[in-house]
Amino acid sequence: MQLFSCPFCGSRDETEFVFGAEAGKTRPEPAAEVSADTWGRYLHFADNPRGPTREIWQHVTCGEFFLMERDTVSHAVAATVDLRGDKA
Amino acid sequence: MTRRYSAFSLFREGLRGHTGWQPAWRSPQPKRRYDAIIIGGGGQGLATAYYLAKNHGMTNVAVLEKSWIGGGNTGRNTTTIRSNYFYPESVALYDFALKLYEGLSRELNYNIMLSQRGVVTVSHSDAEMEMAARLVNAMQINGTDAELLDRDGVLEKAPLLNASDEARYPIFGGTWQGRAGVARHDAVAWGYARAADAKGIDIIQNCEVTGFIVEDGRCVGVETSLGPIRSDAVGLAVAGHSGVLAAKAGFALPIRSYSLQAMVSEPVKPCLDTVVLYLGTGTYLFQSDKGEIVVGGGLDRVPSYAQRGNPPMQQHVISGMLEMFPAFGQLRMLRQWAGVVDVVPDSSPIIGPSPVPGLYLNCGWGTGGFKSIPAGGWLMAHLIATGEHHDISRPFDLERFATGRLVDEAAGSGIAH
């Protein structure tokens, strides 16, 4: 069982966390000018990197979202950062 | 020298000490140029090569595999073949695969050990029975076999199921597809490889694609660990690593890679002659020809390229098995493993041209790649040979993520891939 570190609650069991999305996606605006292709890309596409990655996760038990830097092959977690920018 | 497999050739080789068997495929050095290159020597890639030769007469074709053939998801899945889907597009696709599977041993002269023992999907409430009836109706309208079972019907198919009134997931009934079943996964890869090789196709193992040769915006070949190989048509059939190779070609895909794990128990006497899935637990299992209970479940919840699997999902799958078959609490588990699967938001595959001309996609099968190997190969071969979609593959083009015309099977059939 892997432990992830919630920036607010500390080390918790991986089952308490849910993956949200890759970090760095911003919603394209204004809606009226966004093409179907751009919108589809925002909704569905992912870099899906093999190795180091930056992702948004939620700690379901406390409800907070945060940034997790981890490796998709080794599963090592480099850092968890709350979305206000402080290191956990 | 024995090339063709038959009862007679087995008898003859038995008489002469099995000295005449030939390797099932060659191990050639890659040529500098091919008419088509398939990246990925799993079932999908090997089937594509076979159908390029058989249906389209293209034999100057190479299959490039970074490791050994059938060593990725083709050798890691739980070998179930079924077409119990909701949408007409999906049934057309998966039932095409099932039909090809039904004739495959004879066609390839290779026993894939297809055993059409049926799949029963168990419902646990009146509401789930309504959904089951809806799925059965849809399947029948779409032209595949399906039956709605009541509680007794389910227990007749699998008498060891938990029939207790105390069950967390009581049996109300379920859906039945009798033509579904299991096959030997390695044999599917090896059979296609042998048949493709016999048609002159080069299967090149231990040859990793490290990049694409793009000239004037068109893919004209690949860089590999054995040097550059050129071709005007390149097919990508690498499942969980599709995103990695797409990035090398300069585009992204609507795919996320997850570990999907499975496990087998020690072999026991015959006790289960069908495939059973519980909607409630998400666990499914069957008994292999060797007697092992083969158990699978849902995806690990952590995006991953590790072919390993995390303990929480193992625990979940095994607890599901114990709920379904309390008697299996006596089993000792023998092995556990995982494959990296390519999961798409609408749980349907992506077959079609990529954003780079000359490069074609066959990916996004998620947890359902094995059952669709013959269809995926057939459709990809059609695409590469003609440059056009086959009618069955057209709805699964990458463009659906811009048009919004998704084929959402997670919502349609409740199957989570």
- A69 assigned to some structural domain: yes
Across the interface, of B247, B301, B404, the residue whose CB is closest to A47 is B247
- Is B411 a residue whose pLDDT tops 90? no
Give the pLDDT score at B377.
98
Question: What is residue B117's predicted lDDT score, i.e. its pLDDT?
Answer: 97
Tell me whether residues A45 and B403 touch, CB distance under 8 A: no
As a whole number, the mean pLDDT across chain B is 95
Percent of chain B with pLDDT over 90: 95
- CA distances in angstroms from B26 to B22, B122, B198, B203, B380, listed in the order given: 10, 46, 9, 7, 24
> Is residue B219 scored above 70 in pLDDT?
yes
Inside any domain, residue A11: yes
In a domain, A14, yes or no: yes
ipTM at complex level: 0.94
Tell which residue, A64, A72, A67, has the closest CA to residue A25: A67
pLDDT tens figures, B104-153 = 999 999 999 999 999 999 999 999 999 999 999 999 999 999 999 999 99
> For residue range B176-190, what is the model confidence (pLDDT) as tens digits?
999 999 999 999 999
Residue B340 confidence (pLDDT) above 60? yes
Give me the pLDDT at residue B1, please: 55
Nearest to A36 among B241, B312, B403 (CB): B403
- DSSP lists the bridge partners of residue A67 as A56, A81
Q: What's at B53, amino acid-wise?
A: A
ω into residue A30 within 30 of 0, thus cis? yes
How much of chain B exceeds pLDDT 70, in percent? 98
Rounded to whole angstroms, the Cα distance separating B78 from A4 reads: 30
Domain-embedded: residue A87: no
Question: Based on the number of CB atoms within 10 Å of its own CB, is B41 exposed (0-12), middle (13-18) or buried (19 or more)?
Answer: buried
Query: CB–CB of A45 and B252 under 8 A?
Result: yes
pLDDT digits (tens, 9 = 90+) for B197-207: 999 999 999 99
Domain count, chain A: 1
Is A86's pLDDT higher than 70?
A: no
Note whether residue A30 is domain-resident.
yes
Q: Is the pLDDT of residue B257 over 80?
A: yes
Does position B413 have pLDDT exceeding 90, yes or no?
no
Q: What is the pLDDT of residues B224-247, one digit of tens each?
A: 999 999 999 999 999 999 999 999
Range of the domain at A49: 3-82
Closest residue in chain A to residue B243, using alpha carbons only: A48
pLDDT for B409? 86
CB contact under 8 A, A49 and B345: no
A25-44 confidence digits (pLDDT tens): 899 999 999 999 999 999 99
With a cut of 60, say whether residue B383 has pLDDT above it. Answer: yes
Residue B416 scores a pLDDT above 60: no
* pLDDT score recorded for residue B414: 63
Residue A88 lies in a domain: no
pTM of the full structure = 0.95
Both tokens assigned to B220: 């004209």
Asked if B305's CB is within 8 angstroms of A50's CB, the reply is yes
CATH code of A37's domain: 3.30.2270.10
**Which among B243, B311, B345 has CB closest to A44?**
B345
| C-beta separation of B299 from B260 below 8 A | yes
